[in-house]
Chain A
């Protein structure tokens, strides 16, 4: 069974631009969560999607948004990029919602904002 895939793996953007990251969950998994990992703030939860609806949301500004499609694939969008948005963005999938005890993570997308 294929694991969680994230595209692209690396991305370089400049301040003010917007970016869209993609996550394909493990087949059959319906929940997708997104996390931001930075040296300064560590690992922080962004949001969780289940059945195309956002179920949980972390403490991030409205510039961070996401969506989930009917095939459970998810995208995360960051608008008006700031230098502090440089981070590793991790996506994780699980069968059901709020199932953090059975999450599988992708390798992440490394975003650099110049």
Chain B
């Protein structure tokens, strides 16, 4: 089946930028998503990008998509301790299938 890969951990200093990376295998992906999950909570959709775009910016968040390399990244500017959470990358394929595939999640640890 299709696969979405992420690194497991990322540690940054408060105020720095964080970059979380994701690769996927499905060349027919239509939408790619970033979710945030805080301890004991459900998922929060942070942002998404349509596959015909290569960049999307939303306040402190910047999503970059390299469709040729099937690589997606999420950059968080001026990272704060409140950004500490698990971040999931996900994709929904095209071709009439809307079943999302998620990565295993990247734990972002922000230290002072």
A56 to B99, CA, bound (A): 7
A76 vs chain B, min Cβ distance (A): 15
A98 to B90, CA, bound (A): 14
B97 vs chain A, min Cβ distance (A): 8
A102 to B104, CA, bound (A): 21
Flag A59-86 by CB within 8 Å of B: 1 or 0 each.
Answer: 1000000000000000000000000000
State whether A42 touches B102 (Cβ < 8 A): yes
A50 vs chain B, min Cβ distance (A): 11
A48's contact among B42, B88, B98, by CB below 8 Å, is which?
B98
State whether B100 touches A100 (Cβ < 8 A): yes
State whether B92 touches A42 (Cβ < 8 A): no
Question: Which residues of A are in contact with B by a Cβ distance under 8 Å?
Answer: 4, 42-45, 48, 55-59, 90, 92, 98, 100-108
Q: What is the size, in residues, of chain B's interface with A at 8 Å between Cβ atoms?
A: 22
State whether B42 touches A106 (Cβ < 8 A): yes
The answer to whether residues A103 and B45 also contact, given A42-B104, A42-B105 and a CB cut-off of 8 A, is yes
State whether A105 touches B43 (Cβ < 8 A): yes
B3 vs chain A, min Cβ distance (A): 11
Q: Does B33 contact A (CB under 8 A)?
A: yes
State whether B31 touches A101 (Cβ < 8 A): yes
Which residues of chain A have C-beta atoms less than 8 A from B42's C-beta? 4, 90, 92, 105-108
A92 to B31, CA, bound (A): 17
B99's contact among A42, A45, A90, A108, by CB below 8 Å, is which?
A45
B58 vs chain A, min Cβ distance (A): 13
A5 vs chain B, min Cβ distance (A): 11
A13 to B109, CA, bound (A): 34
Closest to B45 in A: A103
